[in-house]
Structure 1
Amino acid sequence: MPYDKRSELPDSVQDNLPKHAQEIYQAAFNSAWDDYKDPEQRDGNDSREEVAHKVAWAAVKQKYHKNDAGNWVAT
């Protein structure tokens, strides 16, 4: 289930990440959704959706981190 709009992202993403980080998350999720459609392409027993969310968070963490106040900020 790729995300067509940022407003469709999970609340945990919308409520915590800045706009640009949400855009990164959305693009990475959608790409991973396509890339990992076949179960043979995934490690372990993770579903397609679980893998896409993991990839999306990893992409965000390349450009953003949580500061001491717990807010996501650009690295």
Structure 2
Amino acid sequence: MPYRSNEDLPAGVRHHLPPHAMDIYREAFNHSFASHVGDLRQEEIAHRTAWAAVKRSYVKLGDHWMPRRPDA
């Protein structure tokens, strides 16, 4: 199901990502979810897409997600 706000995201996402990364996750999830209506794996695909979107802009260093450097 689409997420209306970052507070609605799964706990694993809310407790690990910084606010901007949560925005990226939510927007990517919602877009992917809407694009895969009727697919039995709709939610799985949306979560995978959302994490991929976060990983384009953020990198995990230890236990923290940090913005990627523009030249990285």
| Fold match by TM threshold 0.5 | yes
- How many residues get paired? 68
Can you list the C-alpha shifts for 1:13-38, whole angstroms capped at 9, x where unaligned?
Answer: 00000000000000000000111113
Q: TM-score, structure 2 length as denominator?
A: 0.89
Unmatched tracts of structure 1, length 5 or more: 40-45
Q: TM-score, structure 1 length as denominator?
A: 0.86
Alignment RMSD (CA, Å): 1.0
Identity of aligned residues (%): 41
What amino acid is the match of 1:57? W
Can you list the C-alpha shifts for 1:21-62, whole angstroms capped at 9, x where unaligned?
Answer: 0000000000001111132xxxxxx61100000000000000
What amino acid is the match of 2:26? Q
Q: 1:65 aligns with which of 53, 56, 59?
A: 59
Hey, what's the Cα distance between the residues in 2 that align with 1:8 and 1:65? Answer: 23
Unmatched tracts of structure 2, length 5 or more: none
